[in-house]
Structure 1
Amino acid sequence: MAFSGEPLTRWSGSRNMNLEEDFYFIDNQGIKWNAPKGSCLNGATIPRALWTAIGSPYSGTYRKSSIVHDVAVGELCNRDVSNEDRKKADRMFYEACRHEGCSRRFAAILYIGVRFGSWSAQLSSVFKSANLSSREIYRNNPENEYVSQKFWEIVDSAESYLETEDLDQLDMFVEAKLD
């Protein structure tokens, strides 16, 4: 397992970045997860409401992992990613986080975060249609409070799965909680 080096990025919006040179991660099966120059990045698709609790994806021990994950799930540049490919990318993210130095527990919490990100993205349209959310305000709005509360409810109840590295069991648990 290895990253290609240090990523070079440039801000392109309030939360978004562009990759200025090719970057990649090779997983434990030898699969190369490419993030080509010009790729659009938004921070591992972990909901912004969770950044204060688990840290911004632009710093810390999962920064590189968030880059290859962003490109693999394609939310900004390629929206035609299947659920199966998304799940593979989420699992690669867990593995990359572990390689980057995250503990099993923290990597599992981050993994729940990216799995949760797909689910919570659907909420934005509900909250926005009710005029309950603003792109300029991230604190004390109903959407962020709901996302944060639901996330920590799942993490707290997943305690027995956080140290096991059994992502199949963790997925089944999280998916059952999100249904």
Structure 2
Amino acid sequence: MRFSYIIFLLSLASPSQAEYAQRLLLEDVASTHVNHGCADPGHTDFKLLAPYWYKGKDGKVWTVPAGYVVNGGSIPQAAWSIIGGPWSGKFRNATVIHDYLACERISTSDYVHRLFLEGMIESGVPKVKAWVMYKAVLVGGSDWSDVPGYVPQEPRPVESGSLEKLQEFLENNDVSLEELEALELDEL
């Protein structure tokens, strides 16, 4: 007993590592859920059957309460063959946290979207895909104009071949999360 208590105390003193709750328990409620809140109608809605949390690299723990309804990635259906559907892929965990924090306006949009990027990478989403999804959320995510300090992002077209250059750049360079967040395609 005393040994496990010491291990617990040592774990508190160690540097923060990002991590998710062990299990994501969801129930499909698309056919019965009426109030979409800030979620996009038409996406598959799921209700959390147990609280789900994410601990960011900054040490903050964000918990989505049991019973909360999330809609997964707000990905246009035309892009599903490229990115994946709202609940497919390794980005699923990050979308649950992002949906909750964005809909409830918990913290700033910059912080919530950055946490989404961090969470995707922590889940094993390739950096190119994480970057594309992060930039898409900045441009096409929910409207935060009612939040003081909100600055909308202007959409910028992606040049043909730019994503390939980005992928090559990321494969050949060890890019930190901060560098990835600030990266612009025209800089390559």
Superposition TM-score, scaled by structure 2 size:
0.61
CA RMSD, Structure 1 to Structure 2 (Å): 3.1
In structure 1, give the amino acid aligned to 2:70. Answer: L
- Specify the alignment match of 2:88 in structure 1: 59
SS at match of 2:136: helix
Higher relative contact order (CA 8 A, sep 6+): 1
Which deviations, in whole Å up to 9, do the C-alpha atoms of 1:60-105 show, x marking residues without a partner? 211111111111111xxx4xx28x7222111111111111111222
More helix by share: 1
**Equivalents in 1 of 2:119, 2:57: separation in Å?**
9
**Equivalents in 1 of 2:160, 2:50: separation in Å?**
35
1:32 CA displacement? 0.9
In structure 2, give the amino acid aligned to 1:66. Answer: T
- Specify the alignment match of 1:8 in structure 2: 25
Indicate conservation of the 8 Å contact 2:71/2:99, yes or no: yes
- Specify the alignment match of 2:132 in structure 1: 109
Runs of 5+ in structure 1 lacking a partner? 122-149, 175-179
**Equivalents in 1 of 2:90, 2:63: separation in Å?**
19
Taking the TM superposition and a 5 Å limit, the aligned residue runs for 1:20-169 are 20-74=49-103, 78=104, 81=105, 85-118=108-141, 153=158, 157=162, 159-160=165-166, 163=170, 164=175, 165=177, 166-169=179-182
Which deviations, in whole Å up to 9, do the C-alpha atoms of 1:110-141 show, x marking residues without a partner? 2123223327x7xxxxxxxxxxxxxxxxxxxx
Q: Which one has the largest radius of gyration? A: 2
1:49 CA displacement? 3.5
**Equivalents in 2 of 1:45, 1:152: separation in Å?**
19
Runs of 5+ in structure 2 lacking a partner? 1-17, 31-41, 144-154
Indicate conservation of the 8 Å contact 2:131/2:181, yes or no: no
Aligned-residue sequence identity (percent) comes to 23
**Equivalents in 1 of 2:80, 2:156: separation in Å?**
12
